[in-house]
Copies of this chain bind each other. A is one copy, B any other.
Amino acid sequence: MQYSDNIIDALSIDCVIFGFKDTQLYVLLVKHGIGPTLGQWALPGSWIRYNESIDAAANRILSSQTSVGDIYLEQFKTFGDLDRFPARRVITIAYYALVNIEKFELHAGPTEADVQWFKVWDVPTMPFDHKTIFESCLSFLKHKVQHEPIGFNLLPPKFTLLQLLELYEAILNQKLDKSNFRKKFLKMNLLVDTKERQQDVSHRAATLYRFDENIYNKLLDKGFVFEI
């Protein structure tokens, strides 16, 4: 075993970390600083240790790229084709994270040369099956945001309805009607009016809203189903 003795050498974790800024959806990639894939951009990943759950392992990887905790992170899919990893048989469990890009301070880990955000429609070639994992994850996200209120994790805690609209447009890759989008969201009673306004904008300031997990859970109990 070439890396460490207390890892499961047939199993790794890879993370697709999404961020959003100015109408653009981004994914975080790391540039490998050692090994045969040196210099290549890839999904952040690592081995799973014997004494940590797979969720814990995914969280550890996320923490190693940033200083912010409490991030939306969920398992996505496991990839286990025979030839996906060249050196030996390795199966990888893919996770995806949704982060507020503003609060996300990047720092490369010890084996990484660089960390950078890439627009999701313009990612570089990646080693192994990372491109497959990423694309599969992006289409998964596209589906997911329409059925569960998770998009907020990509925005600041307080956001405007236009930001939310632009987020959905970025993920779904299509234009949406502003007025109808507002109505649909407000009608759900999922968003809380913070009574605050946008600052420093050169036009009429919009109301800031926030998403409240508790309200969502109460709605769920009443049989509410989130749909966009």
Contacts and interface: CB of A to CB of B under 8 A. Distances in A.
Interface of A: 8, 10-11, 48, 50-55, 75, 77-78, 80-82, 89, 91, 93, 143, 147
A8 B54 contact: no
Contacts of A52: 82
A191 B75 CA distance: 34
A93 B53 CA distance: 14
Nearest to A94: B78
Contacts of A75: 77-78
Contacts of A54: 78, 80-81, 91
A11 B78 CA distance: 12
Count the copies.
2
Contacts of A55: 80
Given A51-B82, A91-B93, 10 more contacts: A8-B10, A10-B11, A11-B91, A48-B91, A50-B89, A52-B82, A53-B81, A75-B77, A78-B93, A80-B93
Contacts of A80: 48, 53-55, 93
Nearest to A8: B10
A137 to B, nearest CB: 14
Nearest to A56: B82
A78 B55 CA distance: 10
Could you say which of A51, A81, A89 has the most chain B C-beta atoms within 10 Å of its C-beta? Answer: A89
17 contacts: A8-B10, A8-B91, A10-B10, A10-B11, A11-B91, A48-B91, A51-B82, A52-B82, A53-B80, A54-B78, A54-B81, A55-B80, A75-B77, A78-B78, A80-B93, A91-B93, A147-B147
A198 to B, nearest CB: 35
A13 B166 CA distance: 41
Nearest to A83: B53
A182 to B, nearest CB: 23
A185 B53 CA distance: 43
